[in-house]
């Protein structure tokens, strides 16, 4: 059994039937979140998805991290393919009582991963140059998009500042992090749901100095204030099922 599947009681719906097809691990994540009105986000999300709100507002998240162990089942890791840094900009949506993530953009250094995610998962991936340097517990993360168009940039220096805790159901941090599917739209307009599974997030409070104006400004959504919430997570192991078209 894959380590991600050792527990599933924390999910709000059952683990999908059938065999998962991809595995990966997400490492050294920073969750940076800003509140933004759902009305401001609506033009960026298909009408077939509900933009979720918490206490009257929605949120936008920027998540820098490292991918490792990325490979299709049952093959082993390939050193130059299975590990790379990534940067996500995400919103929080729902369809058919399944809360999930809608990605505005995903930047990564691996050109094959960018191509495959665009081709098979319909995700808005872009190639970027990303440098990650660890100094003790502190991560120094620098990203600049190289895929043409505006060179959307991001940088952050971040570190955990507390012990590990699990998000409690009914809290904002649980709302923002404990999500087990993602939504994407194919070129023909069809909406797809990709189910994932992992253990509950091992969250820690975080401290960060960051500049997200470039990556958020690319979408015309750059908030004028520092992030309202910062969380760190060292690692989760993840399994991924094939995308399925929403009825």
The answer to whether position 228 is within a domain reads yes
Q: Are 91 and 35 in contact (CB under 8 A)?
A: no
In-domain check, residue 78: yes
For residues 20 and 64, give the distance between their C-alpha atoms in angstroms, rounded to a whole number: 25
Structure confidence at residue 80 (pLDDT):
85
Tens digits of residue pLDDT in 89-114? 999 999 999 999 999 999 999 999 99
The label of the residue with tokens 């979140």 reads 33
Look at residue 149 and tell me whether its pLDDT is greater than 90: no
Contact status, residue 14 vs residue 8, Cβ threshold 8 Å: yes
pLDDT at 148 over 80: no
Q: Domain containing 206: what range? A: 18-245
CATH number, domain containing residue 144: 2.40.400.10
Coil vs helix vs strand at 128: strand
Residue range 170-229, pLDDT digits in tens:
999 999 999 999 999 999 999 999 999 999 999 999 999 999 999 999 999 989 899 999
Asked if residue 218 lies in contact with residue 185, where contact means CB atoms within 8 angstroms, the answer is: no
* Diameter of the chain measured on Cα atoms: 48
pLDDT at residue 151 greater than cutoff 90: no
Q: Which residue has the tokens 């691996």?
A: 110
Residues 108-133 pLDDT 10s: 999 999 999 999 999 999 999 999 99
Domain count, the chain: 1
Cβ atoms within 10 A of the Cβ of 112, count? 12
Instruction: Give the integer Cα–Cα distance in Å for 181 and 153.
Output: 27
pLDDT at position 177 is 98
Helices (H), 54-154: 111-121
Radius of gyration of the chain (CA): 17
Domain assignment of residue 7, yes or no: no
Of 156, 126, 152, 127, the closest CA to residue 141 belongs to 156
% the chain with pLDDT above 70:
100
Q: Does residue 22 fall inside a structural domain?
A: yes
| Any domain includes 11 | no
The arithmetic mean of pLDDT across residues 154-162, rounded, is: 98
As given in the structure block, the two tokens for residue 166 are: 């699990």
* pTM for the whole structure: 0.97
Burial class (CB in 10 A: 0-12, 13-18, 19+), 92: buried
């Amino acid at each position: 059994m894959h380590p991600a599947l050792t527990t599933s009681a924390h999910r709000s719906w059952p683990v999908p039937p059938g065999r998962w097809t991809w595995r990966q691990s997400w490492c050294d994540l920073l969750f940076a979140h800003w509140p933004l009105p759902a009305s401001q986000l609506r033009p960026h999300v298909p009408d077939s998805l509900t933009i979720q709100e918490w206490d009257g507002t929605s949120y936008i998240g920027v998540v820098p991290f490292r991918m490792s162990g990325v490979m299709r089942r049952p093959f082993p890791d390939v050193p130059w393919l299975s590990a790379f840094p990534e940067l996500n900009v995400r919103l929080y949506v729902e369809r058919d009582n399944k809360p999930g993530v809608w990605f505005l953009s995903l930047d990564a250094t691996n050109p094959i991963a960018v191509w495959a995610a665009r081709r098979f998962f319909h995700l808005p991936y872009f190639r970027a140059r990303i440098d990650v340097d660890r100094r003790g517990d502190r991560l120094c993360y620098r990203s600049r998009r190289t895929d043409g168009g505006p060179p959307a940039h991001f940088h952050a220096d971040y570190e955990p500042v507390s012990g590990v805790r699990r998000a409690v159901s009914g809290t904002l941090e649980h709302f923002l992090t404990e999500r087990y599917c993602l939504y994407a739209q194919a070129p023909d307009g069809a909406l797809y749901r990709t189910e994932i599974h992992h253990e509950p997030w091992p969250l820690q409070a975080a401290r960060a100095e960051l500049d997200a104006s470039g990556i958020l400004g690319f979408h015309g959504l750059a908030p004028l204030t520092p992030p309202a919430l910062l969380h760190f997570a060292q690692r989760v192991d993840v399994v991924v099922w094939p995308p399925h078209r929403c009825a």
